[in-house]
Chain A
Amino acid sequence: MITTQSFPIEKEIKNRSITVSQHVVEIVSDSGEGAQKAGQSFGSISAKMGNGVWTVEIIPAEIQPPARSRAGASGIRIRIGSEKVTNMGDHANLVVALNEQVLYGRIAQDAYTKDTVILLENKWALKNKEEYTTALADFNAKGFKVIEIPMEAECMKYVSDAKKGKNMWVLGMLCEIYNRDITKAEDQIREVFKKKSEKVFEDNVNLLHGGYNWAKENLDLNFEIPPPENAGDQIVMNGNEAMAMGVMAAGIEVCAMYPITPATSISHKLAECFENAGGIVHQAEDEIAAIGFAIGSSYAGKTALTVTSGPGLALKTEFIGLAVMAEVPLVIIDVQRGGPSTGLPTKVEQGDLLAALYGEAGDAPKIIIAPSTIEECFHFVIKARKLAEQFRSPVFILSDTNLATGVSPFPRPKINVESFASPIDQSTWDKNVSPFDWDPKTGISKRPIPGQKDGMYTLTGLAHDEDSKVAYEPEINQKSSEARSRKIAAVLQTLKPPVVNGDESGDLLLVGWGSTKGAIEEAVATARKSGVKVSSLHLHFLSPMEPGLEDIFKKFKKVKTVELNYSDTIGDPLITKKSRRYAQLAWLLRAHTLVDVDCYSNVFGQPINPSKVLDMIKEKLK
């Protein structure tokens, strides 16, 4: 575990090389300058050299903000470590900026600190002299170490239009600064430009070497981030790609969707890979049709998938209610973004937990799981598919923007037959078994699938009896509701209490879910080093809620959730302990355990970083 530190210079090895255990690098630019492509490549190359990596995209709110605007900061953050990296870290150590204005945007987001090294494109010194000079003075006053670099001028030595390709020159420069393997970088460029001509590839390789050589000759900056001895067989991808690979490995063959950020790229990956790996992406006319299509396909076959985000989830609720009522297996991936309404399409939030749990009219119990790492994005799809079929229920996977776009390496999963759905059962159905033959203890029943002789029934969203006959008798509705609810209790029987990270008792227990795990655990590790009695717990099942929580909570003086969704702050106008609206998991845990669970949350739309959690821990234990 890497713990939080600022500019961790540890020891010098050669004249100019410094060994560090981790570094946070950013490339920021106007949008459309290829910063993300360069950063992702840099991350991949680093992962391929065995380093721990985590990348986060820096996305402006608008699709095409004006050039050199402070709100238009676009780019990427890449955190590289000697060990596994689980989150985006704190202040950046080194930043490449293609203009000085976008840096202001990042400064406002508290991305930099004293001593952050800034490699700045200097062409603006002529073009926008006044703004540039003012900015330099501002940056120096903040203690940043600014190095001005003639990036465009250097690129013009290789190409006639520096707009295309400056990113690869920057990649070359970073490769030299961090001693990255230049042949791996070339391979990476080949992959990036595989659909382009040989000439384009050559130009970009020349730019790569140009940046590399320039840095070698002109910069007195060189960092060594040694990879761990043996990282094993690893793959590196983002959470949405991992999700898509999980879908294929689960043997799911139908994904019905309607495009929505940040979920769409799962379907892009699937559309590409299904061609060889079997399966079809159906782009429906809207989200309602998408889930209806998936349900129809599940009903007549095997568990299908729909992927969406906030506004799409809202549209799907009526069909989710039907899937619960008629017990149709279904996997719903919700890549959460900022809400409510259209909200913050490109930003992270964990705001759909209660909507997923309680969004439908009436009582609609269902299974909800949340991966906390990119690796889990892969494995949880397989888990979800199995749960959906076994418990004849819709299963939610709650991911978020931070997991969706974050890139990190993880052990390569073994793909085996067991993870695949078995073929559609077409054997003759036992006439004596009803289509809803609810087990009195678990509520579980087996479903007939069209094509099965003697299994004919009419599925309905109306209240129905075991034979799927529309039933208005009050006892039948009570009985069928009990059966559906009991399935959730039956899932709970299969779960073990979660394991506490740190001591099993202490002053403070932080509880999280989803993508915040890395940051929380890093902060807890740092705090524990300085003797603070803090531990953390991360939940992966949210419905049913994991067992044993009350007993775990009782061993801590205080329990507090860390979440990326809205909660009131006591002390704000009108907000008291009585009037306070809590963060979403906190509400659930309070109801569930009757423990006075507190919460720490915000809706800045940014991934949480360890130092913020650390500050909160210190504050809470004052």
Chain B
Amino acid sequence: MLELTHDDLCNMSHGETAFSIDDYKKGVPRWCPGCGDNSVLNSVQKLCKDKQLVPEKTVFVSGIGCSSRFPHYMNTYGFHGLHGRAFPVAEGVKFRRPDLNVFVITGDGDCCSIGTAHWIHAIRYNMNMTVLLLDNSIYGLTKKQTSPTSATGTKSNTHPKGSVLPPINPIQTTLSVSNASFVAQTVDWKPAHVFETIKAAYEHPGFSFVRVIQRCPKFMGDLYETTIADQSALTLLTHENGIKLDEKAEKSFKNIIQHNPSDINKGREYAEMKDSIPIGLFYQNKNAPRYDEYGAHNIGMPVTERITAINKELDKYAV
């Protein structure tokens, strides 16, 4: 068991002046104008500053896709790996280095198609990391192919007449995996909500899964235009234990539901909402078992002790 808290471990500053938001920025993002990924990047950098995350003790792990370019724009450590395989890498990082802040950035193709097996198991491992699924309901990087989260009828280069299958609901899927511990949803065009959601996710001790509904103006055109215009198109799930907005931000919502995030059944019900997009915290359990704690129990033993143990083992084979 870890005796220090996560913050003690990850964010022991080395006596420097406070980090400013610019300390977390790197390069110029190459996303299209109006791409929802930009808004997420801003919120994440703001979170890093608010929490004063030590840049060298922070790792962003991603797969492949437009969204997975994310780590290149963070002045922290980054791992831009393989399509669909961000989770195993992030798990290896966290397992070996519980003292690092680990973020995973993934896309809907990355997470819900090629990486599905890892996604399901990552939920179950419940290692302490913050996961942002940037879901634009399309394959962006490879230029408009149907994604598992594309709504039925979505016209794409692989289904010119419109996709035929019903989409996967990433929130419902995550909720259904045993040991799920933090499941939230937000939309890129509500930056205050994005920020509060990512903050709650970061603060959660375990695998925090956030689906960000993300605009891809390049390939999905004005998919969310009416949603943005219509105040009742979003439903805010809120609660004293959930994700809270300040009064001003809350005012921009017409539909507000008090949802206690410990109630998983209600959470599942809201996840199925049809005529409005629910945003907020669906479920949280701070006490779900964590695999990174199992990992940490036996790493970093002093070499002399290890040599003694190995010799003892060799004795059993002695001739």
Chain B nearest CB, measured from A93 CB (Å): 23
Query: What residue in chain A is nearest B73 (Cβ atoms)?
Result: A458
Q: Is A416 an interface residue (CB 8 A)?
A: yes
Interface residues on A, range: 35 or more
Residue of B nearest to A452 (CB): B56
Main secondary structure of the interface of A (DSSP, over half): mixed
Say if the beta carbon of A249 comes within 8 Å of chain B.
Answer: yes
Choose from A231, A279, A456, A459 the contact partner of B55 (Cβ within 8 Å). Answer: A456
Interface residues of A in 275-293 (CB under 8 A from B): 275-280, 282, 284-286, 288-293
Cβ contacts under 8 Å, B310 to chain A: 245, 248-249, 273, 277, 415
Contact present for A284 and B88 (CB under 8 Å): yes
Which of B77-85, B143-151, B227-235, B276-284 lies at the interface?
Answer: B77-85
Q: Is B97 an interface residue (CB 8 A)?
A: yes
Is the beta-carbon distance between B95 and A280 smaller than 8 angstroms?
yes
Interface 9-residue window, one of B154-162, B198-206, B248-256, B296-304: B296-304
- Which of A231, A256, A304, A458 meets B80, CB within 8 Å? A458
Partner of B118 from the list A276, A289, A297, A456 (CB cut-off 8 Å) is A289
Say if the beta carbon of B245 comes within 8 Å of chain A: no
Q: Would you call A236 and B82 a contact (CB within 8 A)? A: no
Q: A461 and B82: CB pair below 8 A?
A: yes
A289-B117, A293-B88 given; A459·B78 CB < 8 A: yes
* Distance A191 CA – B318 CA, assembled complex (angstroms): 13
In the bound complex, do residue B82 and residue A296 qualify as a contact, i.e. CB atoms below 8 Å apart?
A: no
Asked if residues A451 and B91 are in contact (CB atoms below 8 Å), the reply is: no
Chain B residues positioned under 8 Å from A273 (CB to CB) = 309-310, 313
> Of B82, B95, B306, B319, which is within 8 A of A231 by CB?
B319
Instruction: Find residues 328-360 in chain A having any chain B CB closer than 8 Å to their own CB.
Output: none
Interface string of A248-267 (1 = CB under 8 A from B): 11010110100000000000
Q: Which residue of B lies closest to A248 (CB)?
A: B310
Is A301 within 8 A of B96, CB to CB?
Answer: yes
Q: Would you give the shortest CB distance from A44 to chain B, in whole angstroms?
A: 9
Q: B180 in the interface, Cβ–Cβ < 8 Å?
A: no
Nearest chain A CB to B56 CB, angstrom units? 5
Instruction: Collect the chain A residues with CB atoms within 8 Å of residue B55's CB.
Output: 456
Taking CB atoms, residues of chain B closer than 8 Å to A237 are 317
Q: Is the CB of A294 within 8 A of B92?
A: yes
Q: Please give me the residue from chain B that is nearest to A285 by CB atom.
A: B121
Asked whether any CB of chain A lies closer than 8 Å to the CB of B274, the reply is no
For B295, what are the chain A residues with a Cβ–Cβ distance below 8 Å? 280, 282
| A275 / chain B contacts, CB cutoff of 8 Å | 298
Q: Which A residues lie within 8 Å of B79 (CB)?
A: 296, 299, 458-459
A318, B115: Cα distance in complex, Å: 14
Report yes or no: A234 in contact with B318, Cβ–Cβ below 8 A: yes
Q: Is the pair A278, B300 in contact by a Cβ cutoff of 8 Å?
A: yes
Contact between chains at A292 and B88 (CB < 8 Å): yes
A50 within 8 A of B: yes
Top 7 A-B pairs, shortest CB-CB distance: A296-B92, A458-B78, A292-B88, A278-B301, A297-B92, A296-B89, A277-B309
B-contacting residues of A (Cβ < 8 Å)? 47-48, 50, 191, 231, 233-237, 241, 245, 248-249, 251, 253-254, 256, 273-280, 282, 284-286, 288-301, 304, 318-319, 322, 409, 412-413, 415-417, 420, 448, 450-462, 469-470
